[in-house]
Structure 1
Amino acid sequence: MKVGCEANFALALAEAAESWQSELREQGLLSCSIFARGSGVFLYFETASECCESEWEWPTTCKQMLETWPGDGGMQRYSVPMLDIYHDGEPEIREARENGGRERIGMLARLKPSKYSSYIFYHYALQEEKPSCFNPTYIIGAYEDLIFSYQERPSPAFEHGATRRKWPAPITPENWHDIMQPHFVPWSENEQGSILWETMDTILSF
């Protein structure tokens, strides 16, 4: 968001929500959650197909308060996709749940550039060896040093899935959190230790 537009952007989004929701649903969007941290805006969409990746547009009043994101050939972009680096559940499991009454949570963290490939490697191994071991709605996306996670609480009551892929020896470490901590650039420190993930504000969901 442009400097000083955070409050006005949230207000404009709320005012346009009903008509925008109708427009997005016509394009195949099933669910939407929008989160903010400072001037950054992060979107989580669930769609019936991949069509919304290129067709959706911000409401005009909101777009006017957004900075453009640099792109090839001077193209003006108001959103950029994130790389899918981890998903705990299969898409059909996420689509089959009942959304009612669940809290939607978006969180943000930063990765050390030197640890980027290691983080992705371990998360790929985890999602293949132990699917649905945490929360079937949990997904992580990455863009440069930022990683964004989405989940719903309470976790849907699905049984843990069968191993998707097997290799000669398990890769996922038992001391998962100890292995993960050195991958992050902390946001801050407190008496309990480093703050690695920050919960974002939800500014719209449907």
Structure 2
Amino acid sequence: MYRAQTKVGCEVGFALALAEAAVSWQRELRGQGVVGCSIFAKGSGVFLYFEMTGEGCEWEWPITCKPLLEAWPGSFGGEHRYAVPMLDIFHDGEPEMKEAGQSGERVGSLARLKPSKYSSYIFYHYAMQEEKPSCFNPTYLIGAHEELIFSYQERPAPSFEHGVTRRKWPAPITPENWHDVMQPHFIPWSESEHGPILWETMDTILSF
């Protein structure tokens, strides 16, 4: 999972440039071991989900896309960074549980965490990941960078059996009233008649 950002006013231009370069870029990524890719956007924010055959790859944006992206502060080896990795903080299931070529609608969503609740959010999600693996959708995962958290999932959830508990503590940690405990961790995007909107679904700008 990666995060990038377009320059002000370049959101549409970036999406068009990416679409025009999609065929050759997809071929390049596949040559580097990327077997699946979904890119989502909200405003100037761009979020990437890759499925890879190995631990990672040294990928690059298409050359026509780079001028439309903000260079991230700091550099590595003197090179500008146009995307930064997100911290992997939650997997409901394991990648090998998915069958090749079997994927439904790919959904990317975005939320904001209160800085004071960051560690608590990760703590509870790690506990649930270990105590109740595959409890709702084995494709679901969450990445974090600064105050933003990005989730990816495929709908409908593929058929699966609940996984075996990976770890046991002296007493269960995952709360039964999960949503009530989670809500105070978020900075809502807005309010609706049904309550605060914590997650917003993003637009998909590329998927293969």
TM range (shorter): over 0.9
Which of the pair is proportionally richer in strand? 2
2:10 is the alignment partner of 1:5: yes
Equivalent-residue separation in structure 1 for 2:89 and 2:203 (angstroms): 23
**Gap regions ≥5 residues in structure 2:** 1-5
Contact 1:140 / 1:150 at 8 angstroms: preserved in 2? yes
Matched with 1:51 is 56
Partner Cα separation in structure 1 for residue 71 and residue 41 of structure 2: 17
What is the Cα deviation at residue 97 of structure 1? 5.0
The alignment status of 1:82 with 2:96, answered yes or no, reads: no
**Which residue does the alignment assign to 2:3?**
none
Partner residue, 1:149: 151
Deviations, residues 18-69 of structure 1 (Å, cap 9, x unaligned)? 00000000000010000000000000000000232xx100001111100100
Q: Is the 8 A contact 1:97 1:156 kept in 2?
A: no
Contact 1:68/1:78 (<8 A) preserved: yes
Q: Give the fraction of aligned pairs with identical amino acids, expressed as a percent.
A: 77
Q: Is the 8 A contact 2:75 2:81 kept in 1?
A: no
TM-score (norm. length: structure 2): 0.94
Asked if residue 110 in structure 1 is aligned to residue 112 in structure 2, the reply is yes
**Alpha-carbon distance in 1 for matches of 2:196, 2:179:** 13
Provide TM-score, normalisation by structure 1: 0.95
Structure 1 spans left out of the alignment, 5+ residues: none
Task: Please tell me whether residue 128 in structure 1 is matched to residue 136 in structure 2.
Answer: no
Q: How many residues align?
A: 202
Q: Is 1:70 the counterpart of 2:73 in the alignment?
A: yes
2:90 and 2:143 in contact (8 A); partners too:
yes
- RMSD between aligned residues: 1.2
Q: List 4+ stretches of structure 1 deviating above 2 A.
A: 72-75, 96-100
Aligned residue type for 1:90 = E
